[in-house]
Amino acid sequence: MNDMAAVILISVGVLFNIFGCIGLLRLPDIYNRLQAATKCVTLGCCSILIGVLVHFGIGGAGFRALVAIPILFFTATVAAHALVRGAYHFGTKLDKRTVKDDYREAVK
């Protein structure tokens, strides 16, 4: 029973990772790519870690997987903020389908 739940959670995680990587390939500019990839891959890896927690049960290894989840969330989101800000200041152009850019006058 536990094994079945763990396998289902890990499969869902791998499926989300696949979506994230397709987004990394298909979307047109860096900002959209970063969005799709960060969201999908972070939640996919969290789902895999929850599967690991279910598999090992409450104990040393389970708590280790549980501690990794908030670390993963904070580091992934903060790294995404830093990257998107760095890319804007570096001068990366927005895609031509972009309809609005409020940030340009703010950094001037």
Partner 1 sequence: MTGFMNILLYIQIALCAPCLYRIIRGPSIPDRMVGIDIFGILVVGICGIISVITEKDFILDIGIAWVILSFIGTLTLAKYLGGKKLNE
Partner 2 sequence: MRYLAIFILSMIFWLLITFRFTIPNITAGAVASAITAAIFGRYYFHNVYKFLQPRRWYWFTVYLVTFIWACIMANFDVAYRVLHPAMPIRPGIVKITTTLRSEFARTLLANSITMTPGTITVDIIGDEIFVHWIYIRSDDPARYTKMVTGRFEEYIKKFAE
Chain residues that interact with partner 1, rule: CB under 8 A:
3, 6-7, 10-11, 13-14, 17-18, 20-22, 24-25, 30, 33-34, 37-38, 41-42, 44-45, 48-49, 51-52, 55-56, 60-61, 64-65, 67-68, 71-72, 75-76, 78-80, 82-83, 85-87, 89-90, 92
User: Considering the complex, what minimum distance in angstroms separates the CB of residue 1 from partner 2?
Assistant: 23
Amino acid identity for residue 26 in this structure: R
Q: Which of partner 2, partner 1, none interacts with 49 (beta carbon under 5 to 8 A by kind)?
A: partner 1
Q: Longest Cα pair distance anywhere in the chain, in angstroms?
A: 59
Do the Cβ atoms of 50 and 34 come closer than 8 Å?
Answer: no
Round to whole Å and give the CA distance between 10 and 102: 40
Using the rule CB under 8 A, is 34 a contact of partner 2?
A: yes
End-to-end CA distance of the chain: 59
Q: Which of partner 1, partner 2, none interacts with 8 (beta carbon under 5 to 8 A by kind)?
A: none
95: enclosing H helix or E strand: none
